[in-house]
Amino acid sequence: MRRGVGLGAIQKHKLEQAKYTNIGNEIQENQIEQMTKQLDVFRVHLEDFASKHKNEIKKNGEFRRQFQEMCATIGVDPLSSGKGFWSVLGIGDFYYELAVQIVEVCLATNSKNGGLISLDELRSKLIKARGQSKQHQEISKDDLLRAAQKLKIFGSGFSVVPVGNGQYMVHSVPGELSMDHGAILQLLSTKNLCSISTNILCDELNWREDRAKQALEQMLDQGLSWIDLQGDDCPVYFFPSLFNVGSSEE
Protein backbone atom coordinates (compact mmCIF):
# COMPACT_ATOMS: atom_id res chain seq x y z
CA MET A 1 0.00 0.00 0.00
CA ARG A 2 1.36 3.46 -1.02
CA ARG A 3 2.34 5.64 1.92
CA GLY A 4 1.09 9.24 2.14
CA VAL A 5 3.36 12.26 1.89
CA GLY A 6 4.92 13.14 5.24
CA LEU A 7 4.37 16.45 7.07
CA GLY A 8 8.05 17.34 6.64
CA ALA A 9 7.84 16.98 2.87
CA ILE A 10 4.76 19.23 2.74
CA GLN A 11 6.47 21.94 4.79
CA LYS A 12 9.57 21.69 2.60
CA HIS A 13 7.43 22.10 -0.51
CA LYS A 14 5.74 25.19 0.96
CA LEU A 15 9.11 26.73 1.83
CA GLU A 16 10.33 26.16 -1.72
CA GLN A 17 7.19 27.75 -3.15
CA ALA A 18 7.61 30.78 -0.90
CA LYS A 19 11.25 31.04 -1.96
CA TYR A 20 10.34 31.00 -5.65
CA THR A 21 7.62 33.59 -5.02
CA ASN A 22 10.10 35.91 -3.31
CA ILE A 23 12.58 35.50 -6.15
CA GLY A 24 9.83 36.27 -8.69
CA ASN A 25 8.84 39.41 -6.77
CA GLU A 26 12.46 40.57 -6.64
CA ILE A 27 12.86 40.06 -10.40
CA GLN A 28 9.63 41.97 -11.05
CA GLU A 29 10.71 44.84 -8.78
CA ASN A 30 14.09 45.01 -10.54
CA GLN A 31 12.40 45.11 -13.95
CA ILE A 32 10.07 47.91 -12.84
CA GLU A 33 13.02 49.85 -11.42
CA GLN A 34 14.96 49.45 -14.66
CA MET A 35 11.96 50.54 -16.74
CA THR A 36 11.48 53.59 -14.51
CA LYS A 37 15.12 54.57 -14.98
CA GLN A 38 14.82 54.11 -18.75
CA LEU A 39 11.71 56.30 -18.85
CA ASP A 40 13.50 58.99 -16.83
CA VAL A 41 16.36 58.93 -19.33
CA PHE A 42 13.84 59.06 -22.18
CA ARG A 43 12.17 62.11 -20.60
CA VAL A 44 15.51 63.91 -20.40
CA HIS A 45 16.23 63.17 -24.07
CA LEU A 46 12.69 64.25 -24.98
CA GLU A 47 13.19 67.56 -23.18
CA ASP A 48 16.50 68.08 -25.02
CA PHE A 49 14.77 67.28 -28.31
CA ALA A 50 11.91 69.67 -27.55
CA SER A 51 14.33 72.43 -26.60
CA LYS A 52 16.28 72.08 -29.86
CA HIS A 53 13.17 71.92 -32.05
CA LYS A 54 10.95 74.33 -30.10
CA ASN A 55 10.17 76.61 -33.05
CA GLU A 56 9.44 73.74 -35.42
CA ILE A 57 7.11 72.10 -32.88
CA LYS A 58 5.16 75.33 -32.51
CA LYS A 59 4.92 76.20 -36.21
CA ASN A 60 4.68 72.81 -37.99
CA GLY A 61 1.42 70.93 -37.43
CA GLU A 62 2.72 67.53 -38.59
CA PHE A 63 5.89 67.85 -36.54
CA ARG A 64 3.75 68.82 -33.52
CA ARG A 65 1.59 65.72 -33.98
CA GLN A 66 4.66 63.45 -34.05
CA PHE A 67 6.03 65.15 -30.95
CA GLN A 68 2.71 64.57 -29.15
CA GLU A 69 2.89 60.88 -30.04
CA MET A 70 6.44 60.64 -28.64
CA CYS A 71 5.23 62.23 -25.43
CA ALA A 72 2.32 59.80 -25.20
CA THR A 73 4.64 56.78 -25.36
CA ILE A 74 6.11 57.72 -21.97
CA GLY A 75 2.96 59.12 -20.41
CA VAL A 76 3.85 62.81 -20.73
CA ASP A 77 1.09 65.26 -21.62
CA PRO A 78 2.54 68.67 -22.48
CA LEU A 79 -0.99 70.05 -22.83
CA SER A 80 -1.75 69.52 -19.14
CA SER A 81 1.69 70.56 -17.90
CA GLY A 82 1.21 74.19 -17.01
CA LYS A 83 4.42 74.45 -15.00
CA GLY A 84 8.03 73.48 -15.35
CA PHE A 85 9.89 72.74 -18.56
CA TRP A 86 6.89 71.97 -20.75
CA SER A 87 5.36 75.39 -20.14
CA VAL A 88 8.36 76.89 -21.93
CA LEU A 89 7.15 75.35 -25.19
CA GLY A 90 3.83 77.13 -24.93
CA ILE A 91 2.07 74.14 -26.51
CA GLY A 92 -0.65 74.06 -23.86
CA ASP A 93 -1.36 77.77 -24.36
CA PHE A 94 -1.62 77.19 -28.12
CA TYR A 95 -4.31 74.52 -27.71
CA TYR A 96 -6.27 76.47 -25.10
CA GLU A 97 -6.23 79.50 -27.40
CA LEU A 98 -7.35 77.31 -30.29
CA ALA A 99 -10.16 75.83 -28.16
CA VAL A 100 -11.48 79.32 -27.41
CA GLN A 101 -11.41 80.16 -31.12
CA ILE A 102 -13.30 76.94 -31.90
CA VAL A 103 -16.04 78.03 -29.50
CA GLU A 104 -16.19 81.46 -31.15
CA VAL A 105 -16.59 79.97 -34.64
CA CYS A 106 -19.22 77.48 -33.42
CA LEU A 107 -21.27 80.21 -31.73
CA ALA A 108 -21.01 82.44 -34.81
CA THR A 109 -22.28 79.69 -37.14
CA ASN A 110 -24.91 78.07 -34.88
CA SER A 111 -27.79 79.99 -36.44
CA LYS A 112 -26.84 78.66 -39.89
CA ASN A 113 -25.86 75.05 -39.19
CA GLY A 114 -27.77 74.27 -36.01
CA GLY A 115 -24.58 73.71 -34.02
CA LEU A 116 -23.05 71.07 -36.26
CA ILE A 117 -19.98 71.88 -38.34
CA SER A 118 -17.50 69.69 -40.20
CA LEU A 119 -13.89 69.73 -39.03
CA ASP A 120 -12.77 70.80 -42.52
CA GLU A 121 -15.10 73.79 -42.57
CA LEU A 122 -14.12 74.69 -39.01
CA ARG A 123 -10.43 74.60 -39.95
CA SER A 124 -11.09 76.74 -43.02
CA LYS A 125 -12.94 79.38 -40.99
CA LEU A 126 -10.28 79.41 -38.26
CA ILE A 127 -7.46 79.89 -40.75
CA LYS A 128 -9.39 82.77 -42.33
CA ALA A 129 -10.14 84.33 -38.93
CA ARG A 130 -6.56 84.05 -37.71
CA GLY A 131 -5.20 85.54 -40.93
CA GLN A 132 -2.12 84.54 -42.87
CA SER A 133 0.35 86.28 -40.54
CA LYS A 134 3.57 84.38 -39.94
CA GLN A 135 3.15 84.83 -36.19
CA HIS A 136 0.29 82.30 -36.21
CA GLN A 137 1.14 78.63 -36.10
CA GLU A 138 -0.11 76.28 -38.77
CA ILE A 139 -3.37 74.56 -37.78
CA SER A 140 -3.78 70.88 -38.63
CA LYS A 141 -6.80 68.61 -38.21
CA ASP A 142 -4.93 66.87 -35.39
CA ASP A 143 -4.55 70.23 -33.63
CA LEU A 144 -8.29 70.84 -33.92
CA LEU A 145 -9.13 67.41 -32.50
CA ARG A 146 -6.78 67.89 -29.54
CA ALA A 147 -8.11 71.37 -28.83
CA ALA A 148 -11.72 70.23 -29.18
CA GLN A 149 -11.13 67.53 -26.56
CA LYS A 150 -10.60 70.30 -24.02
CA LEU A 151 -14.14 71.51 -24.65
CA LYS A 152 -15.49 68.42 -22.86
CA ILE A 153 -15.32 70.45 -19.63
CA PHE A 154 -18.48 72.20 -20.87
CA GLY A 155 -20.36 68.89 -20.70
CA SER A 156 -22.62 67.77 -23.53
CA GLY A 157 -22.51 71.24 -25.10
CA PHE A 158 -19.41 70.36 -27.14
CA SER A 159 -18.39 67.03 -28.63
CA VAL A 160 -16.48 65.60 -31.60
CA VAL A 161 -18.46 63.16 -33.76
CA PRO A 162 -16.58 60.74 -36.06
CA VAL A 163 -18.49 60.26 -39.34
CA GLY A 164 -16.23 57.77 -41.10
CA ASN A 165 -13.39 57.93 -43.61
CA GLY A 166 -11.29 59.96 -41.18
CA GLN A 167 -13.86 62.78 -41.13
CA TYR A 168 -15.24 64.48 -38.02
CA MET A 169 -17.93 66.97 -37.08
CA VAL A 170 -18.07 69.25 -34.05
CA HIS A 171 -21.39 69.34 -32.20
CA SER A 172 -21.76 72.56 -30.20
CA VAL A 173 -25.28 72.67 -28.76
CA PRO A 174 -26.65 71.09 -25.55
CA GLY A 175 -27.95 67.57 -25.96
CA GLU A 176 -26.39 64.24 -26.78
CA LEU A 177 -26.24 62.75 -30.26
CA SER A 178 -27.44 59.15 -30.19
CA MET A 179 -25.93 56.24 -32.10
CA ASP A 180 -28.73 56.59 -34.67
CA HIS A 181 -27.88 60.26 -35.17
CA GLY A 182 -24.23 59.31 -35.63
CA ALA A 183 -25.19 56.66 -38.18
CA ILE A 184 -27.17 59.24 -40.17
CA LEU A 185 -24.25 61.69 -40.20
CA GLN A 186 -21.85 58.93 -41.20
CA LEU A 187 -24.12 57.88 -44.08
CA LEU A 188 -24.41 61.47 -45.29
CA SER A 189 -20.65 61.94 -45.11
CA THR A 190 -19.89 58.64 -46.85
CA LYS A 191 -22.37 59.33 -49.66
CA ASN A 192 -21.29 62.99 -49.88
CA LEU A 193 -24.91 64.12 -49.34
CA CYS A 194 -26.43 67.10 -47.56
CA SER A 195 -30.02 65.80 -47.49
CA ILE A 196 -31.80 62.53 -46.80
CA SER A 197 -35.25 60.99 -46.39
CA THR A 198 -36.73 58.17 -44.33
CA ASN A 199 -36.91 56.01 -47.48
CA ILE A 200 -33.16 56.34 -48.09
CA LEU A 201 -32.39 55.59 -44.44
CA CYS A 202 -34.54 52.47 -44.51
CA ASP A 203 -32.87 51.25 -47.70
CA GLU A 204 -29.28 52.06 -46.72
CA LEU A 205 -29.34 51.17 -43.02
CA ASN A 206 -32.07 48.53 -43.08
CA TRP A 207 -34.12 50.48 -40.51
CA ARG A 208 -37.84 50.41 -39.94
CA GLU A 209 -39.68 53.55 -41.04
CA ASP A 210 -40.64 54.58 -37.50
CA ARG A 211 -37.01 54.38 -36.35
CA ALA A 212 -35.77 56.49 -39.27
CA LYS A 213 -38.52 59.08 -38.80
CA GLN A 214 -37.92 59.36 -35.06
CA ALA A 215 -34.17 59.91 -35.49
CA LEU A 216 -34.68 62.55 -38.20
CA GLU A 217 -37.40 64.33 -36.22
CA GLN A 218 -35.11 64.49 -33.16
CA MET A 219 -32.35 66.10 -35.23
CA LEU A 220 -34.91 68.51 -36.68
CA ASP A 221 -36.07 69.47 -33.15
CA GLN A 222 -32.45 70.13 -32.15
CA GLY A 223 -32.05 72.51 -35.07
CA LEU A 224 -29.49 70.30 -36.82
CA SER A 225 -31.59 69.99 -39.98
CA TRP A 226 -34.30 71.66 -42.06
CA ILE A 227 -37.29 69.91 -43.58
CA ASP A 228 -38.76 70.17 -47.06
CA LEU A 229 -42.39 69.02 -47.19
CA GLN A 230 -42.90 69.74 -50.88
CA GLY A 231 -41.57 66.42 -52.15
CA ASP A 232 -43.96 64.07 -53.94
CA ASP A 233 -42.71 60.97 -52.12
CA CYS A 234 -41.81 61.87 -48.54
CA PRO A 235 -40.27 64.78 -46.56
CA VAL A 236 -36.59 65.51 -47.20
CA TYR A 237 -34.31 66.61 -44.36
CA PHE A 238 -31.49 69.02 -45.25
CA PHE A 239 -28.35 69.40 -43.10
CA PRO A 240 -26.89 72.92 -43.57
CA SER A 241 -23.66 71.86 -41.87
CA LEU A 242 -23.01 69.62 -44.89
CA PHE A 243 -23.79 72.14 -47.64
CA ASN A 244 -20.07 72.79 -48.10
CA VAL A 245 -19.01 69.11 -48.14
CA GLY A 246 -16.14 68.64 -50.56
CA SER A 247 -15.44 72.35 -50.95
CA SER A 248 -13.58 73.10 -47.69
CA GLU A 249 -9.88 73.84 -47.63
CA GLU A 250 -7.51 71.04 -46.85
Which residues, including other chains, have CB under 8 Å from residue 215's CB and lie 6 or more apart?
178, 180, 181, 184, 201
Q: Into which CATH architecture does domain 93-242 fall?
A: Orthogonal Bundle (1.10)
Q: Which residue has the higher pLDDT, 4 or 205?
A: 205
Over residues 140-170, the pLDDT tens digits come to: 888 888 888 777 766 656 888 888 888 899 8
* Claim: this prediction has a pTM higher than 0.75: no
**What is the DSSP secondary structure assignment for residue 232, as one 8-state letter?**
S
**250 pLDDT higher than 50:** no
**219 pLDDT higher than 60:** yes
Domain ranges of the chain: 7-75, 93-242
d(CA 163, CA 168): 5
**137 pLDDT higher than 50:** yes
Question: Residue 135's pLDDT band (boundaries 50, 70, 90)?
Answer: low
d(CA 238, CA 101): 27
Q: How high is the pLDDT of residue 89? A: 54
Average the pLDDT over each of 36-45, 109-118, 145-154 and give the range with the smallest value.
36-45
Question: Residue 247's pLDDT band (boundaries 50, 70, 90)?
Answer: very low
Strands of 167-171's sheet in order across: 116-118, 167-171, 159-164
| Long-range contact pairs involving 154-158 (C-beta distance under 8 Å, separation at least 24) | 158/103, 158/106
Which residues, including other chains, have CB under 8 Å from residue 38's CB and lie 6 or more apart?
none
Over residues 66-100, the pLDDT tens digits come to: 777 777 676 666 655 555 455 555 566 677 778 88
Share of the chain above pLDDT 70, in %: 62
